[in-house]
Amino acid sequence: MRSNLTYIALLAFTLILLLFSSCGEKQEEDYKLHLPPPVNFDIDSIKARGKLIVLTENGPSTYYQYRGQSKGFDYDMVKAYAKYLGVKLEIKLLDDVNKMFELLNKGEGDIIASNLTYLKMREEYVGFTTPLYTTRPILVQRKFDISRPDSLFDLIADTTQLADHEIWVHKYSSFRFRLRELEKNNELKIDIKDAPGEIGSEDMLRLTSEGQLSATVTDENMAVMLRYDYPDLDMTVPIGPEENICWAVRKNSSALLKNLNEWLAKEDIQKKLTKTHDRYFQEKSLYEYKGPYALPVLSANQISPFDSIFKKYAPEIGWDWKLLAAISYQESRFNPSAESWSGAFGVMQLMPETAARFGCDTNQRVGENIHAATKYLNHLENFWKKRIADPIERKKFILASYNIGPGHILDAQTIASHLGKKDSVWDQNVAECLLLKTQEKYYTMEGVKHGYCRAQEPYNFVSKILAVYDHYKKHPIK
């Protein structure tokens, strides 16, 4: 009897080993790529060409257009590296990391700089730099039933509760790898769904927010960046440990990899890495003036310490001075020392390039900052006057442009026309189409020229400014 029990125990143990072995083999097979052999094109060839080609994704942590300027953690850092090499920078935008590996090997790109997680199995295909930063994979789930916003879901609190839950991730992403690891290590069965490659990183959050996906996974840095844009999502449960985010080069670009790692190790670059990371991913930097919305408390005899300056310059554009004050409140809370994650500064939060164009620099006083902002608003007034006849509607287009730049608003008009909406009306028309610019389907549409947009901010900006302005108009001060 004991012999039979021993045999059964050994058989069970063997089956468990085979099961885990086959899971490991299946996991490896899931990540197997079939790539062309890498071309011979190293750092000397890049310098001779005079151009560094970087493959990345159009998204909030990598590369996008904001107030007419190129932004993104990866963009800022590769721009600094291209300057160090003494070459021009070319950005190629792709939505599929698998495609990035392919173009890298073909020589159509030199570096993948796209929030790329280090995975040992990926070392078969690329050479990884030393880490730029670390982050954790975070579960994304709705806080309540979309049809019953007063009814809270029984939220998943830790990874042991993931069994049988449907979670959508991209097939070749590190998130899928982590979910498979959780299954293996905790003897769970998670219902992992493969999201189409054309659905971008933020799209996954949006679809979860809208109830079209049950749950997804993002990285912690993305969760910090988009927390206020998606208040109905819970993004607090980690599903894995800290992971290294690196850049990648061709396996045979050893000189480029060595040079990149030497550059990244420099003391001044380490400081730049920390500063750039904090600017894009530190919550205080992102939301010091953009947090939960509240109407300002008004004193008896003034709206702000700068009422006289607003009154002085508002007539130059024919605006009520209280509307200028409303912009300043929303942008900086009237703080002359305010500086945003993007580099916008002063009470009116002008970008340095815009401020310089209209006669102000970062060292000048509040009056100059407000005057330069007034000149910029007048420029936007003239720009939109040719396109939007109604002055009330035009103000909404101007305010949105002040926040994000006119390019994205022109794109939203293009989308509106394509969808049969009114391209000269803001609410329920162009505003709603601006929100579509977080979706790859729309920001890659023909005629749309400025790519991905962090659209929730300008969408909310217009309504918040107008609400504050209405609040100010009720104040008895003239």
Among the ranges given (39-48, 71-80, 102-111, 283-292), the one the predictor scored with the smallest mean pLDDT: 283-292
Q: In the prediction, which pLDDT does 155 show?
A: 86
Range 314-318 average pLDDT = 96
Query: What's the pLDDT band for 318 if we cut at 50, 70, 90?
Result: very high
Convert the pLDDT of each residue in 366-392 to its tens digit.
999 999 999 999 999 999 999 999 999
Per-residue pLDDT at 264 exceeds 50:
yes
Q: In the prediction, which pLDDT does 287 show?
A: 54
Q: In the prediction, which pLDDT does 261 show?
A: 98
Q: In the prediction, which pLDDT does 41 show?
A: 97
Convert the pLDDT of each residue in 206-247 to its tens digit.
899 988 999 999 999 989 888 878 888 999 999 999 999 999
Per-residue pLDDT at 8 exceeds 80:
no
Q: In the prediction, which pLDDT does 289 show?
A: 47
What is the rounded CA–CA span in Å between residue 363 and residue 369? 10
Convert the pLDDT of each residue in 86-98 to its tens digit.
999 999 998 788 8
Query: What's the pLDDT band for 30 if we cut at 50, 70, 90?
Result: low
Range 120-124 average pLDDT = 90
Q: Select the more confidently predicted residue: 34 or 311.
A: 311
pTM of the shown model: 0.78
Comparing CA positions, the residue from 126, 216, 205 lying closest to residue 179 is: 216
Q: Which two tokens stand for residue 245?
A: 């985010």
Per-residue pLDDT at 5 exceeds 70:
no
DSSP string covering 41-78: --HHHHHHHTEEEEEE-BBTTTBEEETTEEE-HHHHHH
Per-residue pLDDT at 286 exceeds 60:
no
Residue ranges of alpha helices (H) inside 201-320 are: 201-209, 220-226, 254-265, 267-281, 283-287, 307-313
What is the rounded CA–CA span in Å between residue 366 and residue 239? 47
Q: In the prediction, which pLDDT does 229 show?
A: 80
Q: In the prediction, which pLDDT does 77 show?
A: 98
CA distances (Å), origin 240, targets 27, 28, 155, 247, 274: 17, 18, 18, 21, 23
Among the ranges given (8-12, 26-30, 256-260), the one the predictor scored with the smallest mean pLDDT: 8-12
Convert the pLDDT of each residue in 420-455 to its tens digit.
999 999 999 999 999 999 888 899 999 999 999 988
Q: Which two tokens stand for residue 6?
A: 């021993």
Q: In the prediction, which pLDDT does 151 show?
A: 60
Average pLDDT, the chain: 88
What is the rounded CA–CA span in Å between residue 354 and residue 350? 6
Comparing CA positions, the residue from 373, 307, 372, 362 lying closest to residue 334 is: 307
Query: What's the pLDDT band for 456 if we cut at 50, 70, 90?
Result: confident
| Per-residue b or e along 421-456, where b marks 16 or more CB atoms closer than 10 Å to that residue's CB | bebbbbeebbbbbbbbbbbbebbebeebebbbbbbb
- Local structure of residue 339 (DSSP, 8 states): B
